[in-house]
Amino acid sequence: MNIKYPDGSSYDSNHNSLQNNSDQQKKKTIFGDRGMTLEEEINQSNDYYRIHDIAVIYKKPVPLQIVKVDYPKRSKAVVKEAYFRQPSTTDYNGIYQGKYVDFEAKETQNKISFPLKNFHSHQIEHLRSCLKQNGICFVIMRFSVLNEYYVLPASILIKYWDLQTSEGKKSIPYTVIKQNAIEIKPGFNPVLPYLAACDEMIQKLKESPHG
Amino acid sequence: MNIKYPDGSSYDSNHNSLQNNSDQQKKKTIFGDRGMTLEEEINQSNDYYRIHDIAVIYKKPVPLQIVKVDYPKRSKAVVKEAYFRQPSTTDYNGIYQGKYVDFEAKETQNKISFPLKNFHSHQIEHLRSCLKQNGICFVIMRFSVLNEYYVLPASILIKYWDLQTSEGKKSIPYTVIKQNAIEIKPGFNPVLPYLAACDEMIQKLKESPHG
């Protein structure tokens, strides 16, 4: 069974640091006690979920616009010129017990709020569309200074995103996240047990389908 | 709303022609009457489904191993060396009315059977895992000489894949596809109305969940 996709190799962190997003550059930070980036933690958790037939969730490859490819004789084709493109969707999607799961993962150094500049409008529109189709949509947020992880339902992110225009909000207050998100405590198997938070979200949807 | 992802630009067809797969090289063939490749037909159909809030389904970006990136001053980062990697999943996934949809799209010049060399073991294992999670999994097949399109449930593909080892089968006979797949007639809106075939598959699953 292939469980290493994407394999967490360096190109992703390279790519992340290229985006016009000062907050995202900090993704390369190696977390003190485990030596893993948030992306690596999620990839490892997805490997765990996949091996144990719990869920099939992958990070999507980074989209590139390929301009020039060389085909050297007797060796592999080499891309010689390519440019990073802005993804139109979130980074992660898959299936969990028959349900479609879609999420983005972001972290901040901020302690009192989560800046909305961490997100692109394409990602928000994608989450909005997936919610309409009854997907389980959320953001895994890490407050890196506090070393706290949250699963925030996409509906809250979208609500604050829309308030940017009407009320000029630039971030989601930490208190709002505390009230509306589900905290995840990092563990070992899996490293980041975020599907437990999905269970809570699925349960809430059953109780109040339009809440 | 962003509806152009991936945008069907040339890099995908470049990539496809690089795979060790003689059959797949023919993907670049421009179809006589519409001037579109199978991939373009599916991408356009996905655009249509997305715009009309029917489904949110995307083709995944081509996975690349990036080795060297240049950061020229005052211009965009340029990937200077990268290699194509074999995907670990199928090319397409998304959500349709709350259901997780996962598929691969392939075509053949063959008229009497669909060669299994069109698939990689990773794709088969991925489909197997998604089926276990109750996903709607299939292959969109095109017999290009016959100009016929079929949606074949992944269970049939997997059955024949496994028969390669036990019985030395190298392809799925056309007659088997005729019996087990759902034919799609190309149209205009969408170009390839493959979700109609999904409806049939979903209906059958309801009637006989373990068939």
* ipTM (interface predicted TM): 0.82
pLDDT digits (tens, 9 = 90+) for A145-158: 999 999 999 999 99
Please indicate whether, in this complex, the C-beta atoms of B82 and A77 are within 8 angstroms of each other: no
> What's the average model confidence in pLDDT over B111-120?
96
Determine the residue of chain B that is closest to A83 in CA distance.
B78
Q: Hey, of B74, B100, B126, B132, which one would you mutate to test binding to chain A, going by the most A CBs within 10 A of its CB?
A: B100
Residue A6 has pLDDT above 60, yes or no: no
A210: confidence class by pLDDT, cuts 50, 70, 90: low
pLDDT at B210: 57
Place of tokens 């190109």: A11
CA distance A164 to B172: 54
Q: B211 pLDDT exceeds 70? A: no
* pLDDT reading at B30 higher than 80: no
B129·A50 Cβ contact <8 A: yes
pLDDT at A131: 97
Nearest CA-CA distance, residue B209 and chain A, Å: 13
Q: What is the DSSP letter of B28?
A: G
Q: Which tens digit of pLDDT belongs to each residue from B121-172? A: 999 999 999 999 999 999 999 999 999 999 999 999 999 999 998 888 899 9
Q: Which DSSP symbol is given to A52?
A: T
pLDDT at A180: 96
Q: Which of A4-18, A81-95, B45-59, B195-209 has the lowest mean pLDDT?
A: A4-18
CA atoms within 13 A on the CB side of A113: 10
How high is the pLDDT of residue B191?
95
Share of residues in chain B with pLDDT > 70 (%): 82
- What distance in Å separates the CA atoms of residue A38 and residue A35, rounded to the nearest whole number? 10
Q: How confident is the model at residue A21 (pLDDT cuts 50, 70, 90)?
A: very low
Give the CB-side neighbour count of residue A41, counting CA atoms within 13 A.
28
Q: Is the pLDDT of residue A139 over 80?
A: yes
Contact residues for A24 (Cβ-Cβ < 8 A; gap 6+): A16, A17, A106, A118
Closest CA to B79 of A59, A78, A88, A86: A78
B79 with A82: Cβ contact below 8 A: yes
From CA A93, how far away is CA A194, in angstroms rounded? 13
**pLDDT band with cut points at 50, 70 and 90 for residue B34:** low
With bands split at pLDDT 50, 70 and 90, how would you rate the model's confidence at B18? very low
CB pairs under 8 A between A and B: 159
Buried b / exposed e across B108-124, counting CB within 10 Å, b at 16+? Answer: bebeebbbbebbbebbb
Chain B residues with CB under 8 Å of A84 CB are: 76-77, 79
CB contacts, 8 Å: A25 with chain B = none
Contacts of A102 in chain B (CB under 8 A): 95
CA nearest neighbour of B92 among B38, B142, B19, B51: B38
The average pLDDT across A42-53 equals: 97
The answer to whether the CB atoms of A95 and B15 lie below 8 A apart is no
pLDDT tens-digit series, residues A158-183: 999 999 988 888 999 999 999 999 99
Percentage of residues in chain A with pLDDT exceeding 90? 71
pLDDT at A9 over 50: no
Do B135 and A56 make contact, defined as CB atoms within 8 angstroms? yes
Residue-level pLDDT at B170: 94
Q: What is the pLDDT of residue B209?
A: 65
**Mean pLDDT, all residues of chain B:** 85
Q: What is the pLDDT of residue B10?
A: 39
Kindly tell me if the per-residue pLDDT of A130 is higher than 90: yes
